[in-house]
């Protein structure tokens, strides 16, 4: 247990010490909120869908959690050859504990990042439906964070170096984000798109956040939570397995 705790603590300390990185990583969500939120707002309203910012904010929160979580998982590629990970791999600690501590740390950081973006959306003008629902939004955020940190770890365990990284960025991370319904409503879409979205775990995260924060979910909060929990368990388990097979 101590090993898990100290690995978690390390991630938190690193995060809190890299202020420039925290601020830097807020640029993208802020840009999305301002450019899309205000830019597409009038069109969205004209289509009779209400406030686009109100719709978009949960999607952008999910986006920042997704990116932070995946990157902290994928960071292992670096860590594995040079950094600290090598030091932990020769320590008398079961591999799953190392993976677990890191994943918890990465997920905590991603959740914090989501929280900061949430505060930014409040400043810009987003208004959640009620305070009580913030709790379920928080749970959904934690699940998104765990799921994608685990996914990042699993991917990093399979990759040898950063060569494949661009590939993953373009063919995995971007599609996961753009095809999650973070930016557009899920109603009235072409069939193919609806099907793709329905197998994208982030779609359930975004939907869960919407159901909690602005009451605009379509799948229903319980289905969102169920899917997120199941997928998270499966991914963290397979991530642990792949991680335990790492040879240097």
Residues that bind other proteins in the complex, under the rule CB under 8 A: 2-3, 5-6, 10, 13-14, 17-18, 78, 81-84, 86-93, 160-163, 247-248
Q: Which is nearer to other proteins, 17 or 127 (CB)?
A: 17
Element (H, E) at 224: helix 221-244
Residue 10 CB, shortest distance to other proteins, in Å, is: 6
Residue 153 CB, shortest distance to other proteins, in Å, is: 18
Q: Which is nearer to other proteins, 8 or 32 (CB)?
A: 8
Q: Is 238 buried (19+), middle (13-18) or exposed (0-12) by CB count in 10 A?
A: middle
> Which residues have CB under 8 Å from 245's CB, separation 6+?
157
Q: Which is nearer to other proteins, 5 or 171 (CB)?
A: 5
Q: Which is nearer to other proteins, 94 or 175 (CB)?
A: 94
Whether 7 and 101 have beta carbons less than 8 Å apart is answered as yes
Residue 151 CB, shortest distance to other proteins, in Å, is: 22
Residue 96 CB, shortest distance to other proteins, in Å, is: 14
Whether 102 and 153 have beta carbons less than 8 Å apart is answered as yes
Q: Is 1 buried (19+), middle (13-18) or exposed (0-12) by CB count in 10 A?
A: exposed
Identify which of 72, 61, 67 has the alpha carbon closest to the alpha carbon of residue 11. 72
Give the separation between CA 54 and CA 121, rounded to whole angstroms: 9
Residue 67 CB, shortest distance to other proteins, in Å, is: 20
Residue 138 CB, shortest distance to other proteins, in Å, is: 27
Whether 4 and 100 have beta carbons less than 8 Å apart is answered as yes
Tokens representing residue 90 in the block:
């020769």
Q: Which is nearer to other proteins, 84 or 138 (CB)?
A: 84
Q: Which is nearer to other proteins, 78 or 241 (CB)?
A: 78
Identify which of 84, 91, 98, 110 has the alpha carbon closest to the alpha carbon of residue 242. 98
**How far is residue 111 from each of residues 13, 152, 232, measured CA to CA in Å?**
15, 15, 15
């Amino acid at each position: 247990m101590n090993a898990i705790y100290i690995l978690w603590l390390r991630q938190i300390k690193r995060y809190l010490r890299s202020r420039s990185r925290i601020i830097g990583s807020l640029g993208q969500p802020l840009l999305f909120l301002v450019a899309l939120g205000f830019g597409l707002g009038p069109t969205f309203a004209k289509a009779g869908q209400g406030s686009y910012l109100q719709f978009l904010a949960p999607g952008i929160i999910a986006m920042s959690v997704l990116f932070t979580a995946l990157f902290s998982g994928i960071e292992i590629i670096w860590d594995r050859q040079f950094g600290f990970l090598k030091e932990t791999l020769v320590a008398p600690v079961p591999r799953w504990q190392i993976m677990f501590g890191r994943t918890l740390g990465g997920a905590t950081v991603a959740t914090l990042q989501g929280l900061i973006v949430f505060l930014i959306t409040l400043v810009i003008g987003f208004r959640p439906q009620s305070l009580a629902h913030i709790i379920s939004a928080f749970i959904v955020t934690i699940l998104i964070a765990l799921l994608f940190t685990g996914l990042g770890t699993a991917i990093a365990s399979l990759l040898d170096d950063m060569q494949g990284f661009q590939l993953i960025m373009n063919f995995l991370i971007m599609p996961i984000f753009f095809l999650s319904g973070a930016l557009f409503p899920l109603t009235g879409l072409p069939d193919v798109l609806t099907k793709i979205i329905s197998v994208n775990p982030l779609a359930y995260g975004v939907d869960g956040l919407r159901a909690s924060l602005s009451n605009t979910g379509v799948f229903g909060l319980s289905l969102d939570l169920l899917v997120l929990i199941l997928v998270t368990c499966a991914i963290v388990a397979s991530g642990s397995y792949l991680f335990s097979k790492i040879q240097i």
